[in-house]
Structures are given as structure tokens and as C-alpha cells.
């Protein structure tokens, strides 16, 4: 992946580390870090924030109190401008592993709660950018394989991402049956607009959720599948051949002590798995994310053993981009894919190691945004540079989401390989 210069130049030393408070897509403060090197290199990065977060994620630091409704990040910014600044000054910006190791050691906690994962990640990603003298995706690839990812485009929002009665958090279209990323993206955009027409005709068109997808109230969750299927057809594409469906159930959000609360019922893990199987029988679903709660390992392994041959089963809250959690998932065959979010683990280097661990086990990888996103498009370069094969970055609407798609279109002018999936 990322390689250091065999003979680092003193001109690549970090000279300045500064943080500022900026806004994310939900109008909440977040941390932006800017790195300058002695040779004039510059990198800037913004930490995203999640809404449906796993319990085992790295912890973003928030101020509490009355300012910014308790969501301020002045303490995290102070850590960047103080301890992190002092630790990184003079380090070779090309030494990503050394920088990230220093940041983890400086924090000293298992979940980055002292300095804040938002502070640490902002610094780590800014260093990555400052070290790159050309396209960031090529710097990440370091002469290794790279390709444009198949997008999972969240066009109908529910769960924690929408003020609706829909339990499933994300209904996504996956335009995989195309020869290029620009063609695939166009098909996904056309399907998004077709869904708008379908919902309008049925009197269901309202606002959008955190990730830009439409957020209607629906009689049951399966209606979301029906509407997305109809939108694919309305757009003129063949469901299952050109465009398929992916779901992020985010089951942790409706997992309670007595069972899973979905469609007005309380289901056991086995019963919920049977419901998913019925959906697989009826709709062209190629990917199912967070089908069960983050600690319901038995349901994960049971479902993967039964359905893993015909659908990608993705762990997000289950793994939180954490090598310890992923190692258990591999050993127990709990899934066959992992969602990758940089801010769940908190540094570039740790994220790359998790990707390698997943690949060694034959797991598919999906690079993902967060619901509280920013204009920062780094995950587009990350998906291409790591040859991840898939990216999940919301609806083709709102600049916090389209910034990633636009960067992929730019990269497509230089990197023409498009991942063949499903």
C-alpha cells in the first residue's frame, strides 16, 4: 500500500500542524486539520461523523455543554494544535506508519478517547495528502493494483438516517452491469430520479434523509424494496443484470433485549434471518449489511452459513474496522465482507491493515462514508488506491455525497479499470 521514501528528504519534514472547526453535512462542528511541510507540501482533511455508531468504534471527542448543542470540538482542536502538533513537528510526512504509530501512542487509550478519534484521524489523513506529490489514489496504490469501485448508492433512507417509520436504514442501488464507472454512475443517478417519480405518483414524496435518499413513510420495509425495484425498471434498466439492490439494515438500531423490532413485530435472530431470506428470494439483492446486532454472533454465523453463497453479507457495526473484531468474524465465518470506515479505527495505517486482513481471509471490502459527511472526498481516492472494489457514499444528491462521485469521475480520466462484481 503506502510506502515510505527509501531515502526521505529533509524537505519532507512536517513543519506545521493546525486544526480548525468546520461544519459537517448535519450542521455540526467537526475537525479540519492542515499539514504543511518544509518543502511546501500541503495536506488538508476533515473528519466525518456517524449517527448509527457501533459501540466498539473509536471515540470522537465532543465538548458537551451548551455551545453547539453539546457537539462542539474545541477540545479536539486544542489537542491537534497542542500535543499532536508537538509530536508530529519534524517527522517525515512520507512515514505514514510512523506518524500513525506516534498518534496512537500519544493518545494511549484503546479507543482514542483521550485525544479524540476525530483529532487523530484528521491529522493522519492530512499527512497522507501532504505526502502525495501526484494523484492521491496513485500514492495510496504505491504501484499496486487499483480500480474504480462499483458504487452502492443509497436512494431511500430509513432508520437513524431519516424521520420516517422505515426500520431498514439504507436501500441502495448497485449499478454493476456496466463497462465503466461513468456509465454506472449515470444509471444510478437516473434510477434515483426515477424513484422520485415513483414516490410522487404514490403520494409518498417528502424530504430526504441524512445521506440524500428519499425518506417516505411506508406500510412495511418490503415496500422499500418494491419501490426501488420499480425505480430500476422505470429508469429503463434490468434489475439483477444491470442494477441490483443492496441493503444496510443497521439492525443494531432495532435490536432490543427481547428481540428485533421490525414491521411492528418482535423477531428472534433466526426469524429475522428467515425474513431476509424471503427478500432474497423475491428481489435482486446482492449485498446485505448489518443484518443483525453487533453482539449477536450466533445469528450472523447461522445466516452466513445458509445464505453466504448467494449474497454479500457485510459487517459494519459488527467489525467497526477493528482488527480484533474482524479476526473473530473470520474465525467464526460470521460474514463474507466488511465495511471500511476510516473514522471507526482512527488512522490511515490501521485502516490499511484491516483491509489487508480482510483480503487475506477472502472477504470483500466496501469503503464507506458516514452519515455526517463533509466536502472532503478522500474516500474516493482511498477506494481506488486500495483496489477495494466497492464504495458506499450515499445518494447522488447533496454536495457532501456528490463530491465523492465527482472525484471518482475525475479519477476515471486516469484510471479506466472498473471492478467486475456480482
**Among all residues, which ones are annotated catalytic?**
211, 341
User: Residues with Cβ < 8 Å from 329, sequence gap 6 or more?
Assistant: 300, 315, 318, 319, 335, 338
Using CB atoms within 10 Å of the CB of residue 285, give its burial: 0 to 12 exposed, 13 to 18 middle, 19+ buried: buried
Contact 171, 154 (CB under 8 A): yes
For residues 364-381, one letter each, b for 16 or more C-beta atoms within 10 angstroms of the residue's C-beta and e for the rest, the string is bbbbbbbbbbbebbbbbb
Using CB atoms within 10 Å of the CB of residue 86, give its burial: 0 to 12 exposed, 13 to 18 middle, 19+ buried: exposed
C-alpha cell recorded at residue 197: 417519480
Contact 408, 391 (CB under 8 A): yes
Nearest alpha-carbon partner for 63 in 107, 29, 23, 25:
29
309 phi, psi to nearest 5 deg: -75, -20
Using CB atoms within 10 Å of the CB of residue 420, give its burial: 0 to 12 exposed, 13 to 18 middle, 19+ buried: exposed
Q: Looking only at Cα atoms, what is the longest distance across the chain?
A: 64
Q: What is the CA radius of gyration of the chain?
A: 21
**Residue 57 forms beta bridges with which residues?**
none
Amino acid at each position: 500500500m503506502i510506502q515510505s521514501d527509501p531515502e526521505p528528504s529533509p524537505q519532507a519534514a512536517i513543519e506545521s500542524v493546525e486544526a480548525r472547526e468546520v461544519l459537517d453535512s448535519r450542521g455540526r462542528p467537526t475537525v479540519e486539520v492542515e499539514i504543511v511541510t518544509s518543502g511546501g507540501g500541503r495536506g488538508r482533511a476533515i473528519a466525518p461523523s456517524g449517527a448509527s455508531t457501533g459501540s466498539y468504534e473509536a471515540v470522537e471527542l465532543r465538548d458537551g455543554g451548551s455551545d453547539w448543542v453539546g457537539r462542539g470540538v474545541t477540545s479536539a482542536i486544542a489537542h491537534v494544535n497542542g500535543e499532536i502538533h508537538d509530536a508530529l513537528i519534524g517527522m517525515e510526512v512520507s512515514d505514514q506508519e510512523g506518524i500513525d504509530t506516534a498518534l496512537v501512542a500519544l493518545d494511549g487509550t484503546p479507543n482514542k478517547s483521550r485525544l479524540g478519534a476525530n483529532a487523530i484521524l484528521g491529522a493522519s489523513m492530512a499527512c497522507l495528502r501532504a505526502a502525495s506529490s501526484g494523484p492521491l489514489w496513485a500514492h495510496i496504490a504505491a504501484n499496486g493494483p487499483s480500480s474504480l469501485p462499483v458504487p452502492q448508492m443509497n436512494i431511500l433512507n430509513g432508520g437513524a438516517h431519516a424521520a420516517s417509520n422505515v426500520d431498514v436504514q439504507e436501500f441502495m442501488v448497485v449499478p454493476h452491469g456496466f463497462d465503466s464507472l461513468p456509465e454506472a454512475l449515470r444509471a444510478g443517478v437516473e434510477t434515483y430520479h426515477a424513484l422520485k417519480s415513483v414516490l410522487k405518483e404514490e403520494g409518498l414524496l417528502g424530504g430526504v434523509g441524512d445521506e440524500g435518499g428519499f425518506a417516505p413513510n411506508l406500510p412495511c420495509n418490503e415496500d422499500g424494496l418494491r419501490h426501488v425495484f420499480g425505480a430500476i425498471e422505470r429508469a429503463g434498466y434490468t434489475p439483477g443484470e444491470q442494477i441490483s439492490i443492496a441493503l444496510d439494515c443497521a439492525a443494531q438500531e432495532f435490536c432490543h433485549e427481547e428481540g428485533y423490532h421490525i414491521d411492528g413485530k418482535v423477531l428472534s435472530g433466526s426469524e429475522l434471518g428467515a425474513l431476509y431470506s424471503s427478500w432474497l428470494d423475491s428481489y435482486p439483492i446482492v449485498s446485505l449489511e448489518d443484518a443483525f446486532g453487533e453482539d449477536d454472533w450466533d445469528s450472523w454465523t447461522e445466516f452466513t452459513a445458509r445464505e453466504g453463497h448467494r449474497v454479500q453479507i457485510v459487517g459494519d457495526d459488527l467489525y467497526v474496522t477493528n482488527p480484533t473484531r474482524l479476526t473473530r468474524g473470520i474465525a467464526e465465518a460470521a460474514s463474507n465482507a466488511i465495511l471500511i470506515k476510516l473514522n471507526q479505527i482512527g488512522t490511515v495505517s490501521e485502516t490499511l491493515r484491516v483491509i489487508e486482513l480482510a483480503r487475506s481471509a477472502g472477504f470483500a471490502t466496501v469503503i464507506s462514508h458516514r452519515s455526517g459527511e463533509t466536502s472532503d472526498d478522500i474516500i474516493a481516492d482511498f477506494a481506488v488506491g486500495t483496489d477495494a472494489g466497492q464504495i458506499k457514499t450515499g445518494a447522488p444528491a447533496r454536495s457532501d455525497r456528490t463530491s465523492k462521485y465527482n472525484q471518482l469521475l475525475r479519477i476515471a480520466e486516469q484510471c479506466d479499470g472498473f471492478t467486475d462484481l456480482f
